[in-house]
Every structure is written in C-alpha cells, then in structure tokens.
Amino acid sequence: MAFRPRSNSSEAESGYASGCSTESLADVYFTRSHLKFINQQLAKLEPEDVLRWCLTSLPRLWQTSAFGLTGLAIMDMISKLDYAIKPDIELIFLDTLYHFSQTLDLVQRVERRYPDLKIHTFKPEGCETTQDFEDKFGERFWEADEERYDYVAKVEPAQRAYRELDVKAVLTGRRKTQGGKRGDLDIVEIDEQGLIKVNPLANWSFKQVQAYIKEHDVPTNDLLDQGYRSVGDWHSTQPVTDSEDERAGRWKGRQKTECGIHNKKSRYAMFLQEQEEKRQQELSDAITNGLKIEAAS
C-alpha cells in the first residue's frame, strides 16, 4: 500500500482518493488537507493513543530505532498496549559498524527485556565487521567523504531494509525539542518516496521522555550517565551540557544535524540516480540504433 500526498481539488471529500480498478485498491492516497487534519487531531492525543491509531490505520508498520531514549519509550509503550490481538510491530536497527559498545550492549538488554520484539539488523552492504568496512572504503571514511559515508553506512541500509521488508510506514523517535531541523516536525509525514513516517512523541520534551523511562524502568544506554543525550556513531558523538540542544553533541561544531536518513535525497544519492538514468538512456539509445546486445555466457 503506497501513501503519497495529493493536492487535486476534485478528490473525494473524505480526504482519500483512489482509482476504481481492483488493482488500484491496493493504493491509498492522503490529500494534503486530510494529512493536515490528521496531524491536527493526533496532536491532541497522548503517544499511546497515536500508536493505537497507527496500529489500526497503517499497513506494513515497523519501528526504526538507534535505541535512543524516545525510541526506547515507544518500544515500551507498544509492549504495554492493551489489545485483544497483540501488536505485531518489528524493529529495524541500522548497525553502522561504528556504534559505541554501550549501544550494542543495550540492544542485547532490550532483547532480554522484550523477548517478543523481533529486531532486524541491517549493516553496510557487503560488510559484517568494521574491518570489512575499512577494507572496502578506507579508515576514517567519514572524514574523507562524509556524504558518501552517510549514504553507504546509513541511507542505503535503510532503503534496503524498507525494500526487503516491504515497509510502508515507520515509527521514529524524532521530537521537536531535539533541535535542528526537527523544530517544525509533524506527527505524520510522508517522504518523497511515499514512505509514511510517524513521530508519536513529536510533541514531548526531553524531560517528559526521561520521566516515562524512569517510571517504567526502561533499559537505557549507559552513556547517558556520562553526559550524552543523543547517541550515534562514536566518531561523531560527544556529551552535551544542560544548556545545549539535545542533539548538540552530534557532529559538534558543524552545521550538520542529520545523518541523511530523514533528509531529502543526498547529493550522493542523486548522483547515483543520475548515473543509473544515464546508463539506462545509453542502453535505450543502443537498442534504438540497432546495436546488438549479447548476453553474457
């Protein structure tokens, strides 16, 4: 099921628009006005109620998490939802191969705490270890080509996960108070690929998340006791002071605030797309000009 914003004024008053053929019934489209209405209504609800709405409204729903506080709170909320049929939301974890050891330890503790939670781990393509990655791309690749590093370590694995798992909607741990580009975050967004992204705790503060974690005794990253608030790769994460934004320790001293997963297509991703389009055009031209293309033996 694909979800994309539509702005045609002739669409149905309900806010949904779909074709009439049987095949097209697999597609549902949000109009911009309906998406705005949904966000206005969901903003009035508690996160648990937002999650209930997701479970009853969205197909192929997964959670994506790097095991930050908000993602952990969402995991715990899902585990406590009162349903006749237990919610079946599985989790995608992107292992960049540069996570802190404390983060990887937390993953194991989460698995023990929530034994019914199935975690799907995706790593950079063709790499199982940090040594594999450095053999392929070189040491300190994040310094040599930061944008390409983000693509091969995070963006491509995420896209592969969504493709292989047939993901249509994801729950994320993003919040407005995390600063940077997240200040105007909606609860429900639709990216340029048609993927629905739901941010159940978008309107919560860091203190609210902390209070929930403490009240429900949710396992957390040991680095939080060392001044960290938002934890990513060890080479680009530092502790922060109480006066700084929650994500100020990510890529500290630089203008960067996102790794690329939640951005529009990176320049490197667009370059790859342009190269593929060029290759396809050259192939089409060759066929048009009557060149014979022989299959490899």
To the nearest 10 degrees (0 to 180), the angle between helices 47-57 and 69-80 is: 70
The C-alpha atoms of residue 49 and residue 45 are separated, in whole angstroms, by 6
Any idea which of 50-54, 55-59, 103-107, 171-175 has the lowest mean pLDDT?
A: 55-59
pLDDT in tens, 87-146: 678 999 999 999 999 999 999 999 999 999 999 999 999 999 999 999 999 999 998 998
Active site residue ranges: 259
pLDDT (tens digit, 9 = 90+) per residue, 232-273? 899 888 877 676 666 565 645 455 444 455 445 545 555 555
Q: Which residue has the higher pLDDT, 135 or 27?
A: 135
Q: What pLDDT was estimated at residue 83?
A: 64
Mean pLDDT of 28-45: 88
* 254 vs 75, more confident: 75
Percentage of the chain surpassing pLDDT 90?
52
Q: Can you state the angle between helices 206-215 and 69-80, rounded to 10 degrees? A: 50
pLDDT for position 120: 97
| Best CATH choice for the domain 32-273 from the list 3.40.50.150, 3.40.50.620, 3.10.20.30, 3.30.70.100 | 3.40.50.620
Over residues 175-182, mean pLDDT: 72
Position 15 scores a pLDDT of 34
Tell which residue, 19, 38, 35, has the closest CA to residue 27. 19
Residue 283 in this model has a pLDDT that exceeds 70: no
Sheet containing 29-31, strands listed edge to edge, beginning at the edge strand earlier in sequence: 5-6, 29-31, 16-17
Which bin fits 16, alpha (ψ -120 to 50), beta or left (φ > 0)? beta
What's the CA gap between 160 and 164, in Å, rounded? 6
The total number of residues shown for the chain amounts to 297
Residue corresponding to tokens 């960067």: 256
- What does the buried/exposed string (b/e) look like for 3-38 if buried means 16 or more CB atoms within 10 Å of the residue's CB? beebeeeebeeebebeeeeeeeeeebbbbeebbeeb
The residues near 177 (Cβ < 8 Å, ≥ 6 apart) are: 204, 205, 206, 246
Distance (Å, rounded) from C-alpha 270 to C-alpha 25?
Answer: 31
Confidence of residue 222 (pLDDT cuts 50, 70, 90): very high
pLDDT at 1 exceeding the cut of 50? no
Query: How far is 225 from 217, CA to CA, in rounded Å?
Result: 15
Q: What does the pLDDT average to over 218-231?
A: 90
The ranges assigned to domains in the chain are 32-273
